[in-house]
Amino acid sequence: MEFLISSKHFNPHDTFTCGQVFRYGTNQGRYYVFSMDKYAEVFQSGDDFIVETSDVEYFKNYFDCQTDYQQIKDRLNKNLVLSYATEYGSGIRILRQSLIETIFSFIISANNNIKRIQGIIEKLCIRLGSKTPYGYAFPTLLQLANADKQFYTEIGCGYRAGYIQQTAIELLNYDINKLYTMSTKDSKKALMNFKGIGPKVADCILLFGLNRSDSFPTDTWIRKVYHIYFEAGHKDSEISGYLLELFGSDSGYAQQYLFNYLRQKTTK
């Protein structure tokens, strides 16, 4: 089965390469992506992209199809830097991902590079996840909690091995649904009680796993953006607070456009 997304505010390259997701790739001109135990392929057809998947409803939500990106861009474009960034990454969508997958993916991402993160997550899926018709699923919480620390070391998690193992076990006895109903601020505090989740990782989980667009992950790239285009010499917590105030509930979108803008320009 398949459905269409207009290319006006979407393309898979912008969306997948702006750092929010790790299990994607290209094959013969098509993009493919995994999410938990689900899978989709994306390819262009005229002015649209076709999403081919066995779970249409899941991926319509995943690709944030009910959000009006024109309105978001109109608001953000009042800021000069953002007007360049939204033009540059016009096809970015914020993916509505699974909470468990974002929690563990972003613990792994801390002080790590994307290539290595992808390798670790792939091994994680192959060795712990269930087999599906198209590949291996991201492990369930139970599968993650049943693996020991040595396993996580073996697949290359380094000093994060203990964080992952501990957090998986603690989450087993935690009512994860609370995170959906709490305020963004309280959810962030709750997330930061788990090992391996600091302010940056918590913001990523809020934005990508809990759909809280009123969070602004401040990483090395955003720090650079801020110091180049906004002001110099501020601490992370101040940067995050300032940008959050500036962009409000559009913060998450602003963050992705800015991240993409600087990273693509400086790594090419």
Does 160 bind DNA (CB under 7 A)? Our answer is yes
For DNA, the closer of residues 5 and 197 by Cβ is 197
Which of 30, 116, 123, 127 lies at the binding interface for DNA (CB under 7 A)? Answer: 116
> Residues for the chain: how many in total?
268
Q: Which residue among 110, 169, 190, 246 contacts DNA (CB under 7 A)? A: 110
Q: Rule CB under 7 A: say whether 30 interacts with DNA.
A: no
Closest to DNA by CB, 124 or 204 = 204
Contact pick of 90, 112, 146, 264 for DNA (by CB under 7 A) = 112
Report the number of secondary-structure helices (H) and strands (E) in the chain: 15, 7
For residues 12 and 31, the answer to whether their CB atoms sit within 8 Å is yes
Q: How many CB atoms lie within 10 A of CB 207?
A: 27
221 binds DNA (CB under 7 A): yes
**Distance in Å, CB of 180 to DNA, minimum:** 20
DSSP code of residue 194: S
Residues 161-220 that bind DNA (CB under 7 A): 163, 192, 194-202, 204, 217, 219-220
Among residues 37 and 219, whose Cβ is nearest to DNA? 219
DSSP one-letter code for 63: T
Angle at 213 between CA 120 and CA 10, to 5 degrees: 75
Torsion from C-alpha of 234, 238, 239, 243, nearest 10 degrees: -140
| CA atoms of 4 and 49, how far apart (whole Å) | 6
Q: Which residues bind DNA (CB under 7 A)?
A: 18-20, 109-116, 119, 153, 156-160, 163, 192, 194-202, 204, 217, 219-221, 235, 237, 255, 259
